[in-house]
Structure 1
């Protein structure tokens, strides 16, 4: 069998595993490390808020475009060469990002960094999977999962610390030494499978590449910018949505009819992989959605620093790290994947409902988050490895890379959908709660009158004239209404996010039960 020839043993396997994990970590940390430094970049570059948002958007677009193409590119150039080239592209563009002097330079270099980074994630997963014998694949996915789950959590505290103590270019410069070492280790130790004949230039699916880039690029743009640009009231967003849908239709048609497709869609005939891609999307939604919402709440409503917000997430990440090998062992002992995934989804619901309960307009202390985030850490551990092993379990050789590309892309897209939907939902809920609260502030109500008079006297005691004191009182009242509306919106996000995961639990059990009963895979939707 082809993949058996790639199985490694002893110190060689350890070195390959460490190299692959570092590369996956590099890529994922970079998706979130920038978030906390955006304010400093904005000041440095003299950029607007919407311009600085492109630093994140450009990276995400480059990332999602390249992920489905990694299997084909590995085949074309050899996996080791392609992986090493991706690390070099990522490292060089990191240096260029740190040296950028204009906004457009930074955005272009971030896009190139995203193209290099997307390949690191999927190819490292394939390398680790194929370096271990089939019976140890659960442990292999556990080791890889450490990077994927801990990465988004490490980004904010690391970015906050570097920005607070040095300057923002250093968040890019720290990639350089790791990139150099990873390149040398890859060239020395990683092996490429024998893929057969390379494609001639005339056989390369350039139309497929173009349609994929247009589809994913437009979709990612719509998701990242939709809320800010008022969704379909904006002609650009509407045009790009239509373009993305048309490109998807023609892309699927092209890939299913062309002899040498850039993305092998036929691999989705595997029922396990189909279920795995859907579950990866939901997991990405929860993973990136919750990583986005908690720092937003702690910094926006509680006034924490970037470093404090980031540090809050570390115990949960460590919990996941401890869980990973245990879950790998459970899978090796034959515990059905559907039970582990259903348990993970239920625990994620518990985490969200807990969040819904502890968020209050009064200050929520950091200790209130501790156990809630530990539950999230356990839930994420129970989701990641079983979903990945389930997705790749029925695949062999080259298909492993194609399957890993699908699950990786769906996890990233799930995260983009999650952040976009949460942002939109919060903006809408904020307006609803605000108008609801303002409607209850009846100026004839004695309680409201007493409150305003109390505030006026309080400001008057600080030396303000009565008119100025009254205005300041109204402003403070308005601020507390705005804060209350924001808190209620955060509560809604936690509640609905939890319900999404709770609703999925019976479906997960049903789908895998069908698999166990040896039903036709085509019935598994």
Structure 2
């Protein structure tokens, strides 16, 4: 039943805030790793586990949200998850050791994983059926804002405060959202009362946890551990393969699985998961590659990088409700998906052609095109995910779609890390090969730097050593610059390759109340 007046406004604010808070926490830590490593006395590689543990918990819990909401009751599950997230955020900020913060970060991910899909379902319930695509547009704003706000907010906190605030800033938001949830969000009829009729699929949950958890570990940590030369990566890859194959076989063979994989027999959903995977790949990879390029090569601070992302992202925020309104009037989702993928590919091509002396606002046009592409992809893909499914299958379809988006992002970051490292070595080798000892250009450049340093008071030997170090650093910077541009080109290739598959997407008919399928998730939770 839809909400009215102040109750609807409160539900909109509560659900979107919870979803944004969860998504911010997927990226806010990225800019704080140096400070956290120093504060806890560990290496960067060790502290990066705070990212990995959160991602693993997220990607395990997301496909189970439909089952858990049905078993415990949607409101109860949502409220408890929010409380868990808030308490874990406080404990992360209070942690004084590596193992402690990793454990609480995992628990935070378990609580946060429920906030995305369940927030979406509760938000849809607050709207009349014909207006639910607008609700989907509002929710899409949060999906776009979250990963983008993370680095900005994290950079500001690190610049002006200390790293624990990255976690404890969630506490007031979590407390207020929990109170509003308890007060304004109603339970659905018979919610959580038929628990005795639901058999818990312990085997399926265990296989999913092992398979997805180990796969996420391989994707997140593979590059830093040199992939299959590491024993832990080889073991994790084997467990992931056994777990996922066993999970698929088992879930398809039982009557009441925790995750209903049979819905992938629907061609439209199966195709949509491909597009969602690529969309997740592009969304998370672009948010990863651009900040690293801006800070490592272009010399932007973390805060400057985040600020440069915000204005163009607002374009997507403004477009989401408009697209939702158009879809509620019967406009097909397919043209939006095609246009969005083309725009995202164009953004990647433009980003791959930037010069190394650009300013932070020179990225505005490419990032604005990216924002338009994202806005045209997110909501239509939600609609396409459930187009053609039976109402009882909406929960499984949306849960799988959300999980695939997260996996696409993890896969994209892993590929980007590995690709940058490979291309960096290749470009550096090529650049060094052109620095022939004794060449006139190299000698002239070295002498100029040496003379400049000697004029500042350095002795000849020290000045010469520093001159060669400066040239080596310049080669490194150029090699990284070229490798990041190569990565943007790779992103473009992924988007271009899947565009022809849009020909096979099903376009919903207007008389079937086009756009309603995206909103019907509320009936599934």
* Normalised TM-score (structure 2): 0.93
Is the CA contact (8 Å cut-off) linking 2:123 and 2:135 kept in structure 1? yes
2: CA distance, partners of 1:369 / 1:251: 44
Which residue is 1:251 aligned to? 247
Which residue is 1:367 aligned to? 361
Which residue is 1:494 aligned to? 488
Which residue is 1:155 aligned to? 150
Distance verdict in 2 for CA 1:263–1:202, change over 3 Å: closer
Identify the range of structure 1 (49-58 vs 7-16) with the bigger mean alpha-carbon deviation.
Answer: 7-16
Is the CA contact (8 Å cut-off) linking 1:24 and 1:121 kept in structure 2? yes
1: CA distance, partners of 2:138 / 2:189: 22
Which residue is 1:441 aligned to? 435
Is the CA contact (8 Å cut-off) linking 2:356 and 2:481 kept in structure 1? no
User: What SS does the corresponding residue of 1:336 show, helix, strand or coil?
Assistant: coil
Deviations 1:79-126 (A, max 9, x none): 010000100100111111111111111110000000000000111112
Deviations 1:452-504 (A, max 9, x none): 23233333333333333322222111111111101100110111111211222
Shift of 1:49: 1.2
Equivalent of 1:389, from 379, 383, 386?
383
Which residue is 2:208 aligned to? 212
2: CA distance, partners of 1:302 / 1:196: 54
Identify the range of structure 1 (193-202 vs 325-334) with the bigger mean alpha-carbon deviation.
Answer: 193-202
Equivalent of 2:47, from 48, 52, 57?
52
Is the CA contact (8 Å cut-off) linking 2:340 and 2:375 kept in structure 1? yes
Identify the range of structure 1 (258-267 vs 213-222) with the bigger mean alpha-carbon deviation.
Answer: 258-267
Is the CA contact (8 Å cut-off) linking 2:93 and 2:164 kept in structure 1? yes
Unpaired runs of 5+ residues, structure 2, are 511-525
Deviations 1:303-341 (A, max 9, x none): 221111110110122111111111112212322211101
Which aligned pairs between 1:190-209 and structure 2 lie closer than 5 A? Answer: 190=185, 191-192=187-188, 194=190, 198-200=194-196, 203-209=199-205
1: CA distance, partners of 2:461 / 2:86: 60
Which aligned pairs between 1:424-439 and structure 2 lie closer than 5 A? Answer: 424-439=418-433
Aligned residues: 510
Q: Is residue 459 of structure 2 the alignment partner of residue 465 of structure 1? A: yes
Equivalent of 1:230, from 226, 229, 235?
226
User: What SS does the corresponding residue of 2:352 show, helix, strand or coil?
Assistant: helix
Unpaired runs of 5+ residues, structure 1, are 1-5, 517-525
2: CA distance, partners of 1:168 / 1:449: 45
Equivalent of 1:325, from 318, 321, 334?
321
Runs of 4+ residues deviating >6 angstroms: 513-516
Which residue is 2:339 aligned to? 343
Which residue is 1:167 aligned to? 162
Distance verdict in 2 for CA 1:487–1:313, change over 3 Å: same
Q: Is residue 293 of structure 2 the alignment partner of residue 312 of structure 1? A: no
Which residue is 2:297 aligned to? 301
1: CA distance, partners of 2:396 / 2:169: 31
Distance verdict in 2 for CA 1:57–1:515, change over 3 Å: farther
Q: Is residue 324 of structure 2 the alignment partner of residue 292 of structure 1? A: no
Is the CA contact (8 Å cut-off) linking 2:330 and 2:509 kept in structure 1? no
Shift of 1:160: 1.5
Which residue is 2:475 aligned to? 481
Is the CA contact (8 Å cut-off) linking 1:137 and 1:389 kept in structure 2? no
Shift of 1:179: 1.1
Distance verdict in 2 for CA 1:425–1:176, change over 3 Å: same
Which residue is 2:523 aligned to? none
Which aligned pairs between 1:35-184 and structure 2 lie closer than 5 A? Answer: 35-184=30-179
Is the CA contact (8 Å cut-off) linking 2:280 and 2:408 kept in structure 1? yes
2: CA distance, partners of 1:468 / 1:178: 54
* Normalised TM-score (structure 1): 0.93
Distance verdict in 2 for CA 1:407–1:193, change over 3 Å: farther
Identify the range of structure 1 (298-307 vs 463-472) with the bigger mean alpha-carbon deviation.
Answer: 463-472
